[in-house]
Amino acid sequence: MTTTPGQNLVDVIIADHRAVEEVFGQLEAGTGSTEHRRQLVEHMITELVRHAVAEEQYLYPAAREKLPGGDRIADHDLQEHTEAEQLMKQLETLETADPEFDPVLRRLIAVIRHHVEDEENDLLPRLSEACTAEELDDLGKKVVMAKGSAPTRPHPSAPNKPPANMILDSGAGMIDRLRDTLSGRNR
Nearby residues of 160 by Cβ (< 8 Å), 6 or more positions away: 56, 78, 81, 82
Q: Looking at residue 187, what is its pLDDT?
A: 44
Confidence of residue 148 (pLDDT cuts 50, 70, 90): confident
Confidence of residue 61 (pLDDT cuts 50, 70, 90): very high
Residue 147 above 80 pLDDT?
yes
Angle (CA) 96-102-107 rounded to 5° is 135
Rounded Cα distance between 53 and 49, Å, is 6
> Could you tell me the pTM of the whole model?
0.82
Q: Which CATH architecture has domain 9-183?
A: Up-down Bundle (1.20)
Q: Hey, CA dihedral for 108, 20, 13, 151, is it positive or negative?
A: positive
Q: Looking at residue 152, what is its pLDDT?
A: 62
Residue 176 above 80 pLDDT?
no
Q: What percent of the chain has pLDDT over 70?
A: 76
Mean pLDDT estimate for the chain: 83
Rounded Cα distance between 49 and 51, Å, is 5
